[in-house]
Structure 1
């Protein structure tokens, strides 16, 4: 089981680094002037198709992988 723990630790480090990089690449969540007009702009309607939307999705996936790997590495039978 030592080999499995080493592999999971390496994957955990890579996921951690990837999550850090993706979070730093994201833009701030400030509302700006769009909040005054109601925020229902073209950007608000189509942000899932943009690069920012893809970064948000990648963040969610890597965060879930981070949590699962942290729980797996914390188990005593691995």
Structure 2
């Protein structure tokens, strides 16, 4: 096994573990009481204004970035090394 292959595998495993943690930590859509009753979240202009600086938005962005890294690493490792 080459050093690059081992490093890529270690990075892949770390990305997988962090991605699972972020998915479990994130708040589901419609997780509040009104979302559970009506089937949709209670988002208005006032509740979504400034949302990009909240912890939920940070978790959402981090999850999306790690999911993209996971997909790219999966494809690269599958095509080049035949996992």
TM-score tier by shorter-chain length is 0.7 to 0.9
Is residue 69 of structure 1 aligned with residue 77 of structure 2?
no
**Deviation of 1:72 (Å):** 1.2
Is residue 21 of structure 1 aligned with residue 21 of structure 2?
yes
The aligned length equals 77
Return the TM-score normalized by structure 2: 0.77
Give the unaligned 5+ runs of structure 1.
none
Which of structure 1's runs of 4+ aligned residues deviate more than 6 A? Answer: none
1:59 corresponds to: 63
Q: Secondary structure at the match of 1:28?
A: coil
Distance verdict in 2 for CA 1:73–1:21, change over 3 Å: same
**Deviation of 1:41 (Å):** 4.1
Alpha-carbon displacement from aligned partner over 1:29-72 (angstroms, at most 9, x marks no partner): 11726x58x73142222222100000000001000000011011
Return the TM-score normalized by structure 1: 0.81
**Deviation of 1:5 (Å):** 1.0
